[in-house]
Amino acid sequence: MNSNARAEYRKRTQQRQTVIFGSMVLIMAALLILGSLVWLNVIPFPFNRDFSRAPDTSQVVCPTDANASPSPTNEITVSVYNATETTGLAKSVAESLGSIGIKVRETGNWSTENFSEAVRIYTSPEGINDAYTMRAYFDSSSVHIDPNIADKSVSIVLGSHYQNVNLKPTPEQITAAMHADGDCVDVSDFTD
């Protein structure tokens, strides 16, 4: 092979490499720009993202049965979370609930969001009756579905308007707690 043929071969190889690597760089740049636009929510994600959506906290779930009776306190398991700036609030409420026989799984700070409500109660579709029973202990509370709860346990989130826990609700308060206040959504809307 003479030097002209070798130079011609090297030139064609370099041109092919330039085209291939240049195309790869352009494709990667286009994907980077597209990914950045999706990340910044300028354009929507092209696939169904239901699995990554947070629960709709504005929707209050209805009781499963209009004539449901309250659950016995020794059969209810709760987690208590503090969404306020008051240190130790979740722990003190959990100790109060434990003193009347309610099983407390855990306590902690609610890092998801701050809210001005008194109390939000989260549960799964299986724990709705337990959650409505817990409403008797917390004035101005509402029950919501959390798809991240897999059992019938109840998560109690204390908001900035939280006042106190009522450890001795009257039979009238218990009966009233078993019914939704205002508008609510049927549990089937959350499980479809």
pLDDT digits (tens, 9 = 90+) for 60-102: 888 887 778 888 989 999 999 998 888 899 999 999 999 999 9
Residues facing residue 107 across a β-bridge: 80
Is residue 54 pLDDT above 70, yes or no? no
**Is residue 149 very low, low, confident or very high in pLDDT (cuts 50, 70, 90)?**
confident
Considering the domain boundaries, does residue 79 fall inside one? Answer: yes
The answer to whether residues 4 and 93 belong to one domain is: no
Considering the domain boundaries, does residue 67 fall inside one? Answer: no
Give the chain's domain count: 2
The answer to whether residues 18 and 83 belong to one domain is: no
Sequence letter at residue 2: N
> Edge-to-edge strands of the sheet including 141-145?
103-109, 77-82, 154-158, 119-123, 141-145
The answer to whether residues 109 and 29 belong to one domain is: no
Q: Is the dihedral of CA 142, 148, 152, 155 positive or negative?
A: negative
**C-alpha span between 141 and 131 (Å, rounded):** 10
CATH classification at residue 144: 3.30.70.2390
pTM, rounded to two decimals: 0.68
The answer to whether residues 82 and 175 belong to one domain is: yes
**C-alpha span between 79 and 144 (Å, rounded):** 14
The pLDDT of residue 139:
84
**C-alpha span between 86 and 96 (Å, rounded):** 16
Which residue range is the domain that position 16 belongs to? 1-51
